[in-house]
Amino acid sequence: MQCKFHPDRPVRARGLCNACYVRHRKRGTLSEHTYKKGVPAAWLATFLAAGTETDDCVLWPYGKDKGYGVIFWNGRCQRVTRVLMERAGIDLAGREACHSCDNPTCVNPRHLFAGTHHENMTDATVKGIMRKKLTADDVRAIRAMKGTMLQREIGAMFGVNQTVVGDIHRRVKWRHVE
């Protein structure tokens, strides 16, 4: 039996070769290929040529890694936001492509700016996207609450999940704090 999309390859499961099966499991569909090689680059070129007159988010419709759009560009896989900034003539040496809209799939150049990692993390913390890190006083308070309420309730108070609270109670994390 041969793959539906690649007749020269043997079938792994559901009438698909290994590469197709893995790709479709990750995307959540077993219907057909969502795009062919080179289509994301062509979409990006068309998008840049048309210009962006909108202030709305423009979402990357192709491959993603940890929520960020990715594209095979100049011989390697890169984040689309970096490609856009470099094509706009912005040098990103030692800096990141940051989103003012805080939407990782957005590729609207109006929503992108260059910044250091520290600036990006500070921006995310100020906007409430990233939780603050716990302090030693927070850890002492979490330990003092042990047994008085549920771990998930304690975690909600400090912006962490139940697992972190359990680890603090068992001294798996923050063991250096009394």
State residue 35's pLDDT score. 52
Tell whether pTM > 0.85. Answer: no
Residue 130: pLDDT band (50, 70, 90) is low
Only one residue has tokens 């993603």, namely 64
The region of weakest confidence among 13-22, 117-126, 139-148, 152-161 is 13-22
End-to-end alpha-carbon separation of the chain, Å?
Answer: 64
Whether the per-residue pLDDT at 170 is higher than 90: the answer is: yes
- In terms of C-beta density within 10 A (0-12 exposed, 13-18 middle, 19 or more buried), how is residue 4 classed? middle
Report pLDDT digits (tens) over 46-103: 887 777 677 888 888 888 888 888 888 887 888 999 988 888 888 888 898 998 888 8
User: Backbone dihedral region of 49: left (phi > 0), alpha (psi from -120 to 50 degrees) or beta?
Assistant: alpha
Percentage of the chain beyond pLDDT 70 is 89
Only one residue has tokens 């998930």, namely 152
Percentage of the chain beyond pLDDT 90 is 19
Residue 137: pLDDT band (50, 70, 90) is very high
State residue 33's pLDDT score. 47
Domain boundaries, the chain: 1-33, 39-126, 136-169
User: And the tokens for 43?
Assistant: 């979409």
State residue 140's pLDDT score. 94
User: And the tokens for 117?
Assistant: 């990692």
Q: What is the mean pLDDT of the chain?
A: 83
What is the pLDDT averaged over residues 27-31? Answer: 55
**Consecutive H or E run containing 81:** helix 80-87
